[in-house]
Amino acid sequence: MKVPEKLTGVKKAAILLICLGEEAAARIFETLDDSEVRDISRCMSDIERVDPELARSVLQEYKDARDNNMGVYIKGDLFARNAIMGGENHQRAEYLIDQVTAGIEGRPLETISKMHPRMVASLLENEHPQTVALILSTQREDHASRVLAQIPEDLRGEVMYRIAKIETVAPEVISRIEDALQREIGVVVGQDKKQVGGIDKVVEILARLEKGLDQQVLTGIEAADAEMAEEIRRRMFTFEDLRALDGRAMQTVLREVSTDSLTLALKTASDELKEKVYANISQRAADMIEEDLDAMGPRKLSEVEAMQMEIVKVALRLEEEGTLVIPGRGGQDELV
């Protein structure tokens, strides 16, 4: 049996690797570029059985060993996943698995991911904020944050608000975006529903913005939905994250907080954070807070968390004003 002429090269490669097995496929995947791994893996995922005659024609060098083979039954998606994960570069493997599963990379949105942020912003300047939000929600967070920094300031909050509201994208929406981008980048978007956006996506993007820009965006979101802005702040920077502050920064924050408020906020705090706080206030104040905590009766968790969030807002405001630096925030900037 000859290999059917209509069988694509990618399909032949998928059958070949399936017949060779996961270990051999993993070694071969390491020699291919990302786009090749994606294409072959997607093809593998659609295969449930390889006809024995077709297998022998693709694997002619193994013809004698395959003569009595009744076919190869596999779970294509699992095979592809195991083959990708079998390589030594686990970070690359996880990245490829995400791409194969989502079906987004390798298409127009991948092209955007490789463009300079300023070029992407220029491409999107006349698009509706919902379209911009959808496109940015499909990008890696570091790239999306750089693009966001290039779009007009008055649009950032609205775009991020819309990203937070996105959950899945219907095929017809993808089609409309394809029409908007096709003339610019000349590629076609797939038709599967995509899981994109959401508050977690917004948090990841905001965390990579330059210092101060995240708070500008949050202010814009707050104007549209105060509850959502509060949830984003809660996920971006928590009360426990205050442990990362150095002594001077911690003292700066605590000067803005009353003793009663601090005591309530510390009710559910970790011992590590309590010690950090006590180390940056007077011994007398620390003793008083400890005594008040011991004597404090049950309080509503929501009440404690609300007070913790108020203190977090103080820290974020001071950071925006340039009074202190919160390690780990403001993109990839390092302290020097």
Range with the lowest mean pLDDT among 139-153, 209-223, 309-323?
209-223
pLDDT digits (tens, 9 = 90+) for 43-102: 888 787 888 888 777 766 445 444 554 454 455 666 666 777 777 777 777 666 655 554
pLDDT at 328: 58
Helix axes 129-137, 141-148, angle to 10 degrees: 150
- Delimit the CATH 1.10.220.30 region(s) of the chain: 108-206, 237-320
Q: CATH number of the domain at 237-320, out of 3.40.50.300, 1.20.1730.10, 3.30.420.10, 1.10.220.30?
A: 1.10.220.30
- DSSP secondary structure letters along 119-174: HHHHHHTTS-HHHHHHHHHTS-HHHHHHHHTTS-HHHHHHHHHHHHH--EE-HHHH
Domain 108-206 has CATH 3.40.50.2000: no
pLDDT at 190: 39
SS (H, E, C) 164-210: HHCCEECHHHHHHHHHHHHHHHCCCCCCCCEECCCHHHHHHHHCCCC
What is the band of 110 on the pLDDT scale with cuts at 50, 70, 90?
A: low
Name the residue among 58, 53, 73 with its Cα closest to residue 14: 58
- 271 vs 34: CA distance, rounded Å: 46
CB 311 within 8 A of CB 239: yes
Residue with the two structure tokens 């290999």: 3
Q: What is the mean pLDDT of the chain?
A: 76
